[in-house]
């Protein structure tokens, strides 16, 4: 299998593809496609069962029209700062990032200007949306949450659990190498154990489904 899209384009079309295409790894791409397809199929099936009356929604109360909390604005700003810092660093240093994107993501390298722009954009948009929805008097509304509406959370949980499980089980399988360089082993794009990912992802999904 071609390791990344630069090799893929060169192999398929015989052209010298731009270096930034090597940021996109073929294995990760197909894993992402698998998650998207699985989520789509699961949503369709859950909607079908909901229409048949086999699955019922849970009702919860939410407050509409509240001003945004300082802590929520802080987390939005922090998220924008990290995303802008890393994405800006990638744009300015493609050649240095492409050999090992995962190591770059866990490093302290990035773009300060990109971080500031990302922070302002995300925090500003979150604040603007909150102001648009703010009411003079917040109201409490009872809403129904159907099972298919939880799929996005389930996909994120399965992805994180799968990657962590694959890394942990791989560490046990290659213990001597892991002990010599634990940080390098964790952030390396290599070294994923299929059964570890499957077991941990299935376990966290079970407890999430049971809780919800």
With contact defined as beta carbons under 8 Å apart, do 133 and 65 qualify? yes
Does residue 64 belong to any structural domain of this protein?
no
Does residue 25 belong to any structural domain of this protein?
yes
Does residue 47 belong to any structural domain of this protein?
yes
| 103 backbone dihedrals φ, ψ, rounded to 5° | -60, -35
- The pLDDT of residue 73: 94
Q: How far apart are CA 162 and CA 65, in angstroms?
A: 37
Does residue 204 belong to any structural domain of this protein?
no
Domain count, the chain: 1
Does residue 20 belong to any structural domain of this protein?
yes
Q: How far apart are CA 200 and CA 158, in angstroms?
A: 8
With contact defined as beta carbons under 8 Å apart, do 103 and 188 qualify? yes
With contact defined as beta carbons under 8 Å apart, do 75 and 137 qualify? no
Q: Which domain holds residue 21?
A: 1-55
Query: Residue holding tokens 């791409």?
Result: 29
Q: How far apart are CA 156 and CA 24, in angstroms?
A: 20
Number of H helices, E strands in the chain: 10, 2
pLDDT (tens place) for every residue of the chain, 212 residues total: 677 888 888 787 888 877 778 878 887 888 889 889 989 999 999 999 999 999 999 899 988 888 989 999 999 999 999 999 999 998 888 878 877 777 787 788 899 999 999 999 999 999 999 999 888 889 999 999 999 999 988 888 988 898 888 888 888 888 888 888 887 777 776 667 778 888 998 899 888 887 77
Does residue 83 belong to any structural domain of this protein?
no
Does residue 68 belong to any structural domain of this protein?
no
Does residue 28 belong to any structural domain of this protein?
yes
Choose among 157, 174, 169: nearest CA to 195: 169
Choose among 2, 20, 19: nearest CA to 11: 2
């Amino acid at each position: 299998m071609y390791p990344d899209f630069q090799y893929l384009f060169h192999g398929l079309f015989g052209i010298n593809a731009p270096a930034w295409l090597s940021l996109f790894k073929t294995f990760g791409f197909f894993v992402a496609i698998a998650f998207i397809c699985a989520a789509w199929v699961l949503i369709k099936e859950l909607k079908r069962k909901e229409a048949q009356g086999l699955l019922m929604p849970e009702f919860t109360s939410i407050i509409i029209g509240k001003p945004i909390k300082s802590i929520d604005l802080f987390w939005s700003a922090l998220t924008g700062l990290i995303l802008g810092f890393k994405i800006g660093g990638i744009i300015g240093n493609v050649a240095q990032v492409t050999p090992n994107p995962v190591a770059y993501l866990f490093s302290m390298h990035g773009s300060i200007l990109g971080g500031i722009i990302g922070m302002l954009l995300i925090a500003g948009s979150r604040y603007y949306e909150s102001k648009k929805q703010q009411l003079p008097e917040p109201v409490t509304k009872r809403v129904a949450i159907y099972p298919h509406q939880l799929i996005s959370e389930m996909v994120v949980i399965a992805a994180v659990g799968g990657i962590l499980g694959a890394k942990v089980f791989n560490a046990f399988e290659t213990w001597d190498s892991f002990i010599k360089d634990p940080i390098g082993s964790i952030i390396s794009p290599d070294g994923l154990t299929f059964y570890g990912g499957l077991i941990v992802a299935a376990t966290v999904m079970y407890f999430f489904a049971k809780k919800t």
